């Protein structure tokens, strides 16, 4: 029995998804290969070199590794992952939406 089942008295279905170049409907770019490789190296280092358990491997900046404990990602009351929203007014959101605003005749400029 999992900790969630014990505390909440019910089962929790978890569906794994993979986001990346597949969701962009494009071939992997060099960045995708580098990111995947660095996350794999990070998992190895977390387990073997650092002896970590219960962490998420992430990267920032120029693929610098970070290890985030699951306790920081899960709400202790509900035992569900805390949702982290993306601010639609920031550059990251604009970058993610850029392909939607690009037409066959060129980019469509949006005014703020």
Structural domain boundaries in the chain: 29-106
In sequence order, the β-bridge partners of residue 65 are: 59
- pLDDT tens for the chain, 112 residues long, are 777 788 888 888 877 666 666 666 777 778 888 888 999 999 999 999 999 999 999 998 888 999 999 888 888 888 888 877 777 788 877 776 776 666 555 555 555 5
The pLDDT assigned to 67 comes to 96
| C-alpha–C-alpha distance, residues 91 and 23, integer Å | 20
| C-alpha–C-alpha distance, residues 20 and 24, integer Å | 7
- CB contact set of 62 (below 8 Å; sequence gap of 6+): none
Phi, psi of 92 (to 5 degrees): -60, -45
| C-alpha–C-alpha distance, residues 32 and 91, integer Å | 20
The pLDDT assigned to 57 comes to 95
pTM of the predicted structure, to 2 decimals: 0.55
């Amino acid at each position: 029995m999992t900790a969630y089942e014990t505390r909440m008295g019910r089962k929790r279905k978890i569906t794994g998804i993979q986001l990346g170049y597949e969701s962009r409907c494009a071939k992997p770019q060099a960045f995708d290969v580098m990111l995947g490789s660095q996350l794999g190296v990070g998992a190895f280092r977390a387990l073997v070199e650092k002896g970590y358990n219960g962490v998420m491997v992430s990267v920032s900046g120029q693929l610098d590794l970070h290890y985030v404990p699951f306790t920081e990602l899960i709400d202790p009351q509900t035992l569900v992952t805390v949702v982290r929203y993306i601010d639609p007014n920031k550059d990251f959101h604009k970058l993610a939406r850029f392909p939607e605003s690009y037409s066959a005749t060129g980019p469509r400029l949006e005014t703020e």
